[in-house]
């Protein structure tokens, strides 16, 4: 089989596990379009009963914060202890917070 002329685009895969409440990023894969991406994700990332739902997003459609902005974006919260959600006693009944 000759090599494809162009690589298939990259997709990021998010899987919601059986107990999970939200989709979690599990990895990436190549696929020609969304249908194939879901199909491939099913085969590559849910072989061992990991998931109940799959999202795929084209990697190029994700806008990420740049690592060099890390200080500007996140440091200011560090010294505002009163904002940190660590002072509350959560009742046991609240399972997912």
Partner 1 sequence: MADQQHEWILRLGDDALVLAQRLSEWCSHGPALEEDIALSNIALDLLGQARALLTLAGQREGQGRDEDALAYFRTDREFRNALLVELPNGHFGDTIVRQMLFDQFAVLRYEALASQTVDLELAAIAAKALKEVRYHAAHSAQWVVRLGDGTEESHQRVQESLNVLWPYTAELFEDDAVSQACAEAGVLPLNGSFTARWTEQVRAILDEATLTCPESTALLTGGRSGKHTEHLSYMLAEMQVLQRTYPGAEW
* Chain residues that interact with partner 1, rule: CB under 8 A: 1, 4, 8, 29-32, 35-36, 39-40, 43-44, 47
Give the H or E element holding residue 57: strand 51-58
Residue among 5 and 84 whose Cβ is closer to partner 1: 5
Q: Calculate ∠ Cα 33-37-26, nearest 5°.
A: 140
Give which of 44, 59, 45, 50 is closest to 7, Cα–Cα. 59
Residue among 43 and 60 whose Cβ is closer to partner 1: 43
CB 20 → partner 1: shortest distance, Å?
A: 23
Say how far apart CA 60 and CA 84 lie, in whole Å. 33
Residue among 16 and 30 whose Cβ is closer to partner 1: 30
CB 50 → partner 1: shortest distance, Å?
A: 14
């Amino acid at each position: 089989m000759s090599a494809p002329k162009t690589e298939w685009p990259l997709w990021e895969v998010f899987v919601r596990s059986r107990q999970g409440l939200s989709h979690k990023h599990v990895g990436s894969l190549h696929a020609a379009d969304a249908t194939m991406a879901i199909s491939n994700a099913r085969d590559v990332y849910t072989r061992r009963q990991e998931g109940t739902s799959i999202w795929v997003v084209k990697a190029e459609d994700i806008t990420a914060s740049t690592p060099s902005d890390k200080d500007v974006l996140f440091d200011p919260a560090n010294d505002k202890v009163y904002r940190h959600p660590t002072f509350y006693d959560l009742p046991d009944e609240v399972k997912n917070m």
